[in-house]
């Protein structure tokens, strides 16, 4: 990607960019390439608006600049025995807090306590007039005013530029343990997920690698109690094996880093699902061996990896026919751009399948961005 | 029939279109009994199509409407609008589906909170948000006001458990937000709709996520000789890395009230009690129980009671959950506040409350969700004495300002409603208020959906008497 980003050093700089450009797309470190570009729009990076602004561990909250990388924040939290429980995605690649909210991506840990939407409790954003707007607050419980922090989750930089953000955090479990189970077929796997998700065990993460029919069950908590709980998993699953600590770390990191598929630099798509929808979708996708699916968050998110961006047209049709929507989030090698320059009329945006659309959505966009300073929706 | 209601009679039969003064009287107030207003009419739809029809009628005729469930709002959120329609949703009370395999339920807005948990129980599941009025309050109201409860620290509020919603907006447009997955793509409209206080429209179908019921609970009641000691204990628990399901404190006055009301057997002579509840699989609970014991031993406790069984646990909670209505035994009237302060400033806030009580000459009892800094000071007064209500309101206003000044919020779980709308511009600057107004206008160009709530306005209805809600007096509901 040509690095044509304007990198701002301050909020004032940002306001000047907003005032002078006709269209602005906020980005961080562009770890989600398809979401980090928009035609005829100036990309402005907030990567230098980074660092903690406030962190009081006893409050279970922190406020940081939106351009802070996940890795620096996770490291600060870890030093105080705390964490963001939703396994933020693409931390290793340099993803920022702002980009995490705007893209609305949560990792496997979303299963236990909730995702970005559940932990983002306050935001300041810059609107198209260069004004700072506040939504939410800095305390863990707050019912005053519209919940803009939640609205910003998944907003893709189309409604304003996140400047600083406040998150709720939790105490970090002392240890975790991962149990791996091979399932006889996908139906058995879905039954196992449902059973574990409804069990007394308070499972921490529950993911399924479809082509290997391999279920991964993560338990987290005090070291003393994990062996007993894992025995219960063994009993419920009638087998399986515990991954070594190294293998377990590797397994979960690969999901967070989009490296689970075995494909080199795949195009990666997020599809909200549930167990029944997965079964149906997987049936239609498994005809294509260039397409892999990993089911995360206890069956609620499908990560689809494809080798070739030209498959997006086919994939979009599959999703469309099942009433599903997909967000293309990973495309490190700019395969979609190649597609755009080819003559086959393939998909060139990050939206595939059936996205929700309504008059209300357009009305809200117009209300929040009356000058159309940000890309359209 | 009032002329203005012409047209509604083609949607509703006479028995579900109420205009007579006696019928309207039943809807003139909600849980915040300080405000009373008679609506023009009340409609009682039985289907989503009827709700859509009446909202469209309101839109076409520019008639304001207020959707209402059981009317338990403590912020005046379901207070009628003079010259407007009340849409009473209690008959839309069907659980449309409950899917234990996916762990979700789709419900109509008039379904009572507790009924969701009751329906999920045979599958080992439950619906987590537990406002104290859960035996009567409805999911529609919970969604509108993003209701809380005693377990928010660990599990979040209503919006954290709503994954999808079908609604009719004030424009008459029917929209579907979110879906049947806990994850979505695109901006989180479901999250925006939750807590919008009925200002966007009316929820028709709500998709809730269900959680597995905790295997075991460990509930401890601890007595302290000072509020400060109880507050210090909360800090110790939080700093230890434990994540309790609930952390609650009651002060001497609220203990006295609860004791008089339900004989809860709290430690005698306590200046404050702390309730800590852990939950989870028994192996983990056993480990955490020992951690908690070690922490509490180091605090300045003079009495500790561990719930021996489920009945004992419920009796501990009965004292806490009855505290608000019990205060009605100490005082003919009271106002309840719902401010939030950063946890580390709880002690400071309590000192300020004490000073306010001294200055105003009013007694203030304190009950609070200590784990998340959510205060519920109960300001006691006698509404029959001239000027007392006004003075109580001034104290309440000062408490809201203290919360804002300390970096907290004017409401943790009751919503802004009618009660705290004038403080919104103190909590949010003009630009942020303008943005909220712009979004509201996008959803409701004519401001007909629950007008007079959340935003400061001049259309306040006349104040009336203050006191227990009739259902509280009857012991049917209690406040959080």
Q: Give me the pLDDT at residue B468, please.
A: 57
In a domain, A374, yes or no: no
Check CB contact under 8 Å for B432 and A133: yes
* Domain presence at residue A377: no
Give residue A213's domain range: 175-256
User: Looking at beta carbons, which residues of chain B come within 8 Å of A225?
Assistant: 281, 283-284, 286-287
Q: What's the pLDDT band for A343 if we cut at 50, 70, 90?
A: very low
CATH number at residue A249: 3.30.70.920
Residues A225 and A344 placed together within one structural domain of the fold: no
Is A373 inside any structural domain? no
Q: What is the pLDDT of residue A263?
A: 87
Determine, yes or no, domain membership for A362. Answer: no
Residues A143 and A46 in one domain: yes
Q: Within the 292-331 window of chain A, which residues sit less than 8 Å (CB to CB) from chain B? A: 297, 299-301, 325-327
Q: Which of residues 88-107 of A touch B (CB under 8 A)?
A: 104, 106
Q: Report residue A93's pLDDT band, with 50, 70 and 90 as the boundaries.
A: very high
**Cα–Cα distance, A155 to A98 (Å, whole number):** 11
- Same domain, yes or no: A131 and A222: no
In the block, residue with structure tokens 């109880």: B230
A9 has a pLDDT exceeding 60: yes
Mean pLDDT of chain A: 94
Give A103-157 as a 3 state SS string: HCCCCCCHHHHCCHHHHEEEEEEECCCCCEEEEECCCCCCCCCCCHHHHHCCCCC
Q: Are the C-beta atoms of residues B145 and B195 closer than 8 Å to each other?
A: yes
Q: Is A225 on the interface with B (CB under 8 A)?
A: yes
CA distance B195 to A222: 36
Interface test with A, best of B178, B185, B243, B415 (most A CBs within 10 A): B185
Asked whether residue A56 falls in the same domain as residue A78, the answer is yes
Report the first-to-last Cα separation within chain A, whole angstroms: 23
Q: Which pTM was predicted?
A: 0.94
pLDDT for the residue numbered B1: 47
Helix/strand/coil (H/E/C) assignment for every residue in chain A: CCCCCEECCCHHHHHHHHHHCCCEEEECCCCCHHHCCCCCCEEEECCCCCCEEEEEHHHCEEEEECCCEHHHHHHHHHHCCEECCCCCCCCCCCCEHHHHHHHCCCCCCHHHHCCHHHHEEEEEEECCCCCEEEEECCCCCCCCCCCHHHHHCCCCCCCCEEEEEEEECEECCCEEEEEEEECCCHHHHHHHHHHHHCCCCCCCEEEEEHHHCEEEEEEEECCCCHHHHHHHHHHHHCCCEECCHHHHHHHHHHHHCCCCCCCCCCEEEEEECCHHHHHHHHHHHCCCCCEEEEEEHHHCEEEEEECCCCHHHHHHHHHHHCCCEEEEEECCCCHHHHHHHCCCCCCCCCEEECCCCCHHHHHHHHHHCCCCCCCCC
Predicted pLDDT at B472: 54
Pick from A256, A285, A309: which residue ends a domain?
A: A256
Q: Are residues A68 and A153 in the same domain?
A: yes
Same domain? For A150 and A199 the reply is no
A196 and A89 in a common domain: no
Chain A: closest CA distance from residue B443 (Å): 7
Residues A188 and A161 in one domain: no
Which residues in chain A touch residue B341, judged by CB atoms under 8 angstroms apart? 139
Per-residue confidence (pLDDT) for residue B478, from 0 to 100: 53
Domains of chain B: 3-90 (3.30.43.10), 95-212 (3.30.465.10), 216-321 (3.30.70.2190)
**A192 shares a domain with A163:** no
Query: In CATH, what number is assigned to the domain containing residue A284?
Result: 3.30.70
**Helix, strand or coil for residue B131?**
coil
Residue A376, domain member (yes or no): no
CB contact (8 A) between residue A141 and residue B374: yes
Query: Is A162 domain-assigned?
Result: yes
> Of A124, A153, A171, which residue constitutes the final position of a domain?
A171
The span from the CA of A87 to the CA of A247, in Å, is 17
Residue in B with minimal Cα distance to A86: B183
A residues 39-58 near B, CB within 8 Å?
Answer: 56-58
Give the per-residue pLDDT at B323.
Answer: 84
A302, part of any domain = yes
The arrangement of strands across the sheet holding A175-182 comes to A241-242, A175-182, A214-221, A205-209, A291-296, A301-306, A267-272, A325-330, A351-353
- The pLDDT value given to residue A178: 97
pLDDT value of position B474: 52
Enumerate the residues of chain A whose CB falls inside 8 A of the CB of residue B188.
104, 117, 150-155
Is residue A49 located within the same domain as residue A105?
yes
Show the low-confidence residues of chain B (pLDDT under 50).
Answer: 1, 458-466, 476, 480
Burial A298-313 (b: 16+ CB within 10 A, else e): bbbbbbbbbbebbbbe
Final residue before a domain boundary, out of A127, A148, A171? A171
Sign of CA dihedral B286, B291, B292, B293: positive
CB burial of residue A9 (10 Å; 0-12, 13-18, 19+) = exposed
Q: What is the mean pLDDT of residues A85-90?
A: 97
Asked whether the beta carbons of residue A356 and residue B186 sit closer than 8 angstroms, the reply is yes
Return the pLDDT at A344.
46
Check if the beta carbon of residue B312 is closer than 8 Å to that of residue B266.
Answer: no
| Option in B123, B242, B413 nearest A141 (CB) | B413
Residues A17 and A150 in one domain: yes
Between CA B464 and CA B471 the distance in angstroms is 18
* Nearest by CB: B176 against A115, A133, A356: A356
**In-domain check, residue A261:** no
Identify whether residues A35 and A152 lie together within a single domain: yes
- Number of domains observed in the structure of chain A: 3
């Amino acid at each position: 990607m040509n690095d044509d980003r304007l990198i701002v050093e301050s909020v004032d700089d940002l306001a000047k960019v907003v005032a002078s450009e006709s269209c602005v797309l906020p980005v961080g470190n562009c770890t989600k390439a398809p979401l980090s570009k928009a035609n005829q729009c100036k990309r402005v990076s907030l990567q230098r608006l980074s660092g903690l602004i406030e962190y009081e561990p006893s409050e279970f909250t922190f406020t940081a600049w939106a351009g802070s990388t996940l890795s620096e924040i996770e490291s600060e939290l870890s030093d105080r025995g705390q964490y963001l429980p939703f396994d933020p995605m693409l931390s290793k690649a340099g993803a920022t807090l702002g980009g995490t909210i705007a893209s609305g991506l949560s990792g496997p840990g979303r299963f236990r306590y909730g995702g970005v939407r559940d932990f983002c409790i306050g935001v300041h954003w810059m609107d198209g007039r260069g004004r700072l707007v506040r939504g939410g607050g800095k305390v863990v419980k707050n019912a005053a005013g519209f919940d803009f922090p939640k609205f910003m989750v998944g907003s893709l930089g189309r409604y304003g530029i996140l400047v600083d953000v406040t998150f709720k955090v939790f105490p970090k479990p002392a240890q975790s343990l991962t149990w791996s189970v091979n399932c006889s077929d996908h139906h058995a796997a879905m039954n196992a997920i449902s059973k574990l998700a409804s069990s007394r065990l308070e499972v921490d993460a529950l993911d399924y690698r479809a082509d290997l029919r391999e279920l991964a069950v993560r338990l987290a908590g005090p070291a003393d109690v994990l062996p007993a709980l894992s025995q219960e998993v063994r009993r419920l699953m009638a087998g399986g094996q515990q991954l070594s600590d190294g293998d377990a770390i590797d397994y979960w990191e690969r999901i967070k880093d989009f490296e689970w598929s075995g494909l080199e630099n795949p195009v990666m798509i997020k599809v909200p699902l549930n167990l029944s929808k997965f079964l149906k979708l997987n049936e239609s996708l498994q005809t294509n061996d260039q397409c892999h699916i990993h089911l995360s968050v206890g069956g609620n998110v499908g990560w689809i990896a494809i080798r070739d961006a030209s498959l997006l047209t086919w994939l979009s049709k599959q999703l469309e026919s099942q009433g599903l929507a997909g967000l293309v989030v990973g495309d490190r090698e700019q395969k979609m751009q190649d597609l755009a320059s080819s003559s086959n009329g393939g998909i060139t945006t990050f939206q595939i399948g059936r996205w929700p659309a309504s008059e209300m959505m357009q009305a809200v966009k117009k209300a929040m961005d009356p000058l159309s300073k940000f890309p359209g929706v | 029939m009032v002329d203005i209601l012409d047209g509604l009679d083609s949607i509703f039969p006479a028995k579900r279109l109420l205009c007579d003064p006696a019928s309207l009287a039943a809807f003139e107030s909600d849980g915040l009994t300080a405000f009373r207003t008679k609506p023009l009419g009340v409609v009682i739809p039985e289907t989503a199509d009827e709700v859509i029809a009446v909202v469209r009628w309101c839109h076409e005729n520019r008639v304001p409407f207020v959707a209402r469930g059981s009317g338990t709002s403590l912020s005046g959120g379901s207070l009628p609008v003079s010259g407007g329609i009340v849409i009473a949703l209690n008959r839309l009370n069907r659980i449309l589906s409950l899917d234990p395999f996916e762990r979700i339920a789709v419900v109509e807005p008039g379904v009572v909170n507790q009924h969701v948990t009751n329906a999920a129980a045979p599958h080992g599941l439950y619906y987590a948000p537990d406002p104290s009025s859960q035996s009567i309050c409805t999911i529609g109201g919970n969604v509108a006001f993003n209701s809380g409860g005693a377990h928010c620290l660990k599990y979040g509020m209503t919006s954290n458990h709503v994954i999808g919603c079908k609604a009719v907006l004030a424009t008459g447009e029917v929209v579907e937000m979110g879906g049947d997955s806990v994850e979505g793509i695109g901006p989180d409209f479901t999250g925006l709709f939750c807590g919008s206080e009925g200002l966007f429209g009316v929820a028709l179908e709500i998709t809730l996520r269900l959680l597995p019921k905790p295997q075991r609970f460990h509930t401890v009641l601890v007595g302290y000789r000072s509020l400060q000691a109880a507050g210090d204990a909360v800090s110790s628990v939080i700093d230890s890395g434990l994540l309790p399901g609930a952390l609650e404190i009651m002060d001497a006055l609220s203990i006295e009230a609860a004791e008089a009301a339900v004989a809860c057997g709290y430690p005698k002579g306590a200046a404050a009690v702390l309730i800590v509840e852990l939950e989870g699989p028994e192996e983990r609970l056993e480990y955490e129980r020992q951690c908690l014991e070690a922490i509490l031993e180091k605090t300045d406790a003079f009495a500790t009671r561990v719930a021996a069984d489920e009945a004992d646990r419920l009796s501990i909670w009965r004292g806490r959950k009855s505290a608000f209505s019990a205060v009605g035994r100490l005082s003919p009237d009271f106002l309840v506040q719902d401010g939030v302060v950063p946890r580390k400033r709880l002690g400071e806030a309590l000192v300020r409350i004490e000073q306010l009580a001294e200055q105003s000459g009013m007694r203030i009892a304190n009950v609070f969700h200590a784990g998340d800094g959510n205060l519920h000071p109960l300001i006691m007064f006698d509404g029959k004495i001239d000027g007392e209500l006004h003075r109580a309101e001034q104290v309440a206003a000062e408490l809201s300002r203290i919360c804002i000044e300390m970096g907290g919020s004017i409401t943790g779980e009751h919503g802004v409603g009618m009660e705290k709308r004038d403080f919104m511009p103190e909590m949010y600057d003009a630009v942020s208020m303008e943005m909220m107004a712009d979004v509201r206008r996008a959803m409701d160009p004519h401001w007909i959906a629950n007008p007079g709530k959340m935003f400061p306005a001049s259309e306040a209805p006349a104040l009336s008497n203050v006191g227990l809600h009739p259902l509280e007096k009857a012991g049917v509901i209690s406040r959080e």
